[in-house]
Structures are given as structure tokens and as C-alpha cells.
Structure 1
Amino acid sequence: MDEALLRSLTPSVIGVLVRRGADFAAAEDAVQDALLEALRVWPEQPPREPKSWLVTVAWRKFLDTVRADTSRRRREARVGEEPGPGPGEAADDTLQLYFLCAHPSLTPASAVALTLRAVGGLTTRQIAQAYLVPEPTMAQRISRAKRTVAEVRFDQPGDVRTVLRVLYLVFNEGYSGDVDLAAEAIRLTRELAARIDHEEVAGLLALMLLHHARRPARWGADGSLVPLAEQDRSRWDTRMIAEGVDILQAALARDRLGEFQAQAAIAALHADAARADETDWPQIVEWYDELVRLTGSPVARLNRAVAVGEADGARAGLAALAGLDPGLPRHTAVSAYLRERDGDAVTAARLYAEAARAAPNLAERDHLLRQAARLNAALRA
């Protein structure tokens, strides 16, 4: 059973049903039912034309639902009887599904869930496991999202930047449950890049590849977080890095810089260093300057302070940090790191412990607590 094939066909099959007259929510439900049927039937009876099979079965399930609901009899008359089996319509509606699922009227969480279900072809159970929430909670979230976009015309223009932010959110969730969301985000971004010629789509794909290439070295044998400077770089995926750099260079050559290209350029500079002490920090600072200019993001400014500290010394990094809101996520951890670099171990240990209490996940909390314990042990020695 090729589950990847099933998931890749999902958007175009939804698009076929919508163009035949189904509303988006009904089409998406029918396609999910057809996918479950495929998982049951295909191992023993694989179809010669998988997309046509899914279209036929999904349309039948849609009509069954319409016929069972007397309040929809008028709609049944409009959509007509089931077309005969045959090749699925050639129109590719995947791009419109990206736009619809990332509609600005949706919350980020709802947009992510709807994208994973309608474009990614994941089941509600898989999405719930990935986000560590009960399945009924995720089902409600998806249902609300579908109701929100119910009146949005399927063919109206969408906002590429909104789609990219949703895919970036998916990527940053990483891995939970039985779905690797980072890999899924890369797959979806590849599909988007194949359908739209946009330098920031390429920039996001490059960024994902460059970050994902470091994944094997990001965790120790005991499951502990390994900071970038301490990672075994021989474990990085050099082929993925090369692909990411090639995609980035082609995007930058178009001379329409965007935030994801700038972030990818920073990631590429890290990937280019064979050892941590060979990192080109002055150039990374320049790219952070571009990123701040493009976005004004406080998070970008925070990361820039770290880069300044590496390029020009801890005092310069602390000066760059001074103007930022102490309530920013990871501000205290950055302050602790720069204080340690500046030789103030007492303050650094206290700040590491304080940062651990506000850490967004257990791995980061444990890492920060280990840093505090290391400094406290050295101070007692």
C-alpha cells in the first residue's frame, strides 16, 4: 500500500469533487472516506488508475451523503447523477487548496490542521497524535475550519505568504506520533514549488532542507538536545544541504529577497562551516540585518544579538540584546549564554535556571537545567 501516493492524490481528488458541485467540506469528507476505503481494498485489489478510482469512490460517497439528507434534495438535483468511471479530470486544483486551507480568516492552528487534512491527506487521528491533543478536539478544530471557509470561492486568488507561514508552522512542529511533520512540511512545500514560480516558496523549501539536514545530529543517544556548536557535523545530510543551497542560490539570483530566503542564507552559512569555529559570523550578522529590515521581527533581533555576540564579542551581543523586550521567548536563555561568554558565571547560572522554567518543551528545559548545573558545579569547585 503506497500511502504516500494516496496522500499526494488527495488535493486533486478534492478539487474534482468541488468542480462537480460539492462544497469544500462535503468534498473533503467524501475523499477521506474514499481514502479509508482504499486502505482497506487496495492491498488485495490495487487499481490500474488510482486517481480515477478515488474520484469514483469519493463521488459515490458524496452522493450517498446528499441522498441521505433530505434537506439537500435540491442540491442533489443540481449535481446530477454519478458520472461514469473514467480518467479523473485533468485540472490540478492543489494550489487553490493550499490557498483555501491557509485562508486569513482561520487561526494558525486551524489553518495547519486543515492543510494537513485536505492537502496532506492525513487522517484526523494522525493530526491529533502529531499535535498531542485528543482526536475529538482535533475533529472539532477541523470542522470549525471547514465551516469558516465554506463560503470562500474555490477559485479566488490566495495569499502565498499566508500559505508559507502555515507550512513553516507545520515544519517547526517537528515529529510527534506516527507522522513526521517536518518531512510532511517538506513534501507539501515541494508540491507547492512545483505548482508556483515564487522565490519565497523556493526560499522556504531551501530553509527546510538546510535545517532538516542537521536533524540526525540534533539529539544525543540519551535523547538530549545537542546545540548547533556541539553537533557532530559528519552526521549532517550533505546531499540535502547541497540541494538546499542550489535552490537558495537560484532564488537569490532573482533579486527579490524575502524573509525565508534570508533565513535560508543564514542556515546555509552554518551548513558551510566544517567546524563551529569556522562559522562566518560577520556575514550571518549581515543577513540578520537584512531579515530585521524585511520583517522587523523581535525574534530576528534576538537571534541577531547572538550572532553579534559571536562576531564581535559577548559585550557587543549584550548591547544588542539590551533594547529588546525581556519577555521575548528565549530572551533569558540568550542572556544567560552571553553572560557566560562574558565571564559572569554566577548571573549566567541563575538565568539558565530561570530560562528553564519558561522553556517551551522538555528537551530545551533539560538542556538549560544542565547548563545551570554545570556552571553551579564549577562555581563550587
Structure 2
Amino acid sequence: MIIIMGPHVSEDEIKAVEKKVEESGLTTNVSRGTERTIIGAIGDERQVQKEAIEALPGVADVIRVVKPYKIVAREWHEADTIVDIAGIPLGGKTVQIIGGPCSVETQEQMDAAAEGVVAAGCRLMRGGAFKPRTSPYSFQGKGVEGLDIFKNAADKHKLPIVTELMDVRALDSFLERGVDVIQIGTRNMQNFDLLKEVGRVHVPVILKRGLSATISEWLMSAEYIAAGGNHNIILCERGVRSFEKAYRNMLDVTAIPVLKKETHLPVIVDPSHAGGKAWLVPTLSKAAIAAGADGLLVEMHPKPCDAWCDADQALNPDELKVLMGELEAVAKAVGRDI
């Protein structure tokens, strides 16, 4: 940590900063220049509260040298992490496409969706039994009944399932039914109690980026899960809030290479929630893979016009099959496969 003192700092103010830093178990090195005095805090700077130092008289700025997240940081774990999902690797050379509807509706719908997922060549299936909705009057999902419907459909094709957990009280139901991947949605990215609980289990977790979250905030949320002992974490970029109204969210493609530099965790993209329109999904999907994404969450409904939620952004089974062929060509161009 580098502490920059003001231009007219006194010796007493310098000593007060040194004392505060040393109380946290670090040592200090004072460098006096012609215009500024700089104090270097040597040791584990995570033990020092930046705000407490900034509040001291004479302090102009405090700059962290070490990132606040550790377990998920690339500097502590250089090799890419590959998350095993029921024998299917996410990360590494193969890009995984997770297909399926936004929400679980009926057994017939989920059976047809599972068939479409398999026919397209996807190895994992998505579907929401619990649905976070902006309006309290919108369809909220079928809950535990939806988990059973989803499991019945996916098990027929031996498809691992991905579904969203909204409340820690439902975690036992997820574990009892053998949910393969727990998704933490955008609105819960900083629900720290929920993150701590999924950190105590060893089920893979997809952590979606918050609507306005910075990459550092996102990685700190991942650190909450990792600190609990669960290192099977997959980051999902799904678009951030912007001023633009032409599409649902702004897909931050830049986040993919930045994350690849900052963390060893696999990174996937949800082009469906980013674009909000089915016609945008193929283009965003190709851009994501070209930028280095390890996988995609793609919404596919047997009959999109009849979908109970997010009908505009769902592909039909034939469209998903065509997209898979196009993605294979993009993946091959960047040295990967689908």
C-alpha cells in the first residue's frame, strides 16, 4: 500500500500514519521528496482499512498495490481453473453451450426443451424454477415443483442442470434434488449471506454480474464463495445497465479478456439477457466466443411465442441448432471447439 501525504504535512502527521499502519501488523518505509512524502506499507495490506488511513490528517491519497481478492486472483493461481460438471469440463479448450428455457413451465414444455437441447448438441441444460422478476405480478416460477419437472426432463437425456437459487432457505431442496450447477443471479450478486452459504457446499456456482457492478466488485463476490471453501466458480457476463434503450442490456465484451487477465476462473456469457431479442443472440454469442468466453447461457424455448417469460429473447430449437453450427466455426478459428 502506498500512502501519499499532502504537500505541507507535519512530522506528527507522518508518525500518526506510521503508528496506524504498524498497529495492523505491517511495517513502514518513509520516502521524503522535495514536494511530497510517501509512506510505503509493507506486508499484507488486506489487514489495513484503506478508509481509516484516508481519514488521518495530512493524507492526500491511499493506493492499494495488492488486489483485495486473493483466492480468485490470477496472480495466486496462474493456471486456468476447469470446473467439472458431472463429468463435463467447463473451461479449457472446449466451449460449453448451456441451452434451455428461461423458466420451467410444464413437464411437456421441459421434455420438448430437453430434446431440443440434445438435438442441437448442447451438453448442459438451463431452466429457472425460481424466477426473480421486476414486477411482483409477473410469473415467479414454479418453485420446488419446477425443480422436479426440470430434473425429470433432463434426466431422460443425462443432461446436467443449471438453475437459479434466490433464497438460502431453498438450498436444501437444490441439494436433495441433485442440482448440478447453482446459479446466483444478477440481483443477488452482492447477497453476501447467500454467497457464504453456497461457499459451504461444493456444487459448481455460476455467479452473474450485477447490473452496475464493476469487475472488482464482481470478483470480490466470487471471493466470498471461494473463502467458504467452494472454488468451483464460473463467472457470467450478462450485460450491464446503460442509457441505451435499443436493447435490453449492454454486453460488456471487454470484460472477458480483462477477467482472463485478472482471474483463473472460467468465464461464460449470457447473450440472451444482454440483447433481450432473439435476433441479437447469434451475433453476441459469436462475439463472446471470439473474445475468449468459455461458454454461453442461451435461452431456447420449444415455442417461444408461448413462453411464460422473456419470450422475445428465446430461440426455437431449429435456431439453436443452426447457431451451434455457426459457433463451431468461430471456436475453431480461435483454436477451440464446441
Say which one has the larger Rg: 1
More strand, by proportion: 2
Same fold at TM > 0.5 = no
Q: Which has the higher contact order (CA 8 A, sep 6+)?
A: 2
TM-score by length of 2: 0.24
TM-score (normalizing by structure 1): 0.22
Q: Which has the higher helix share?
A: 1
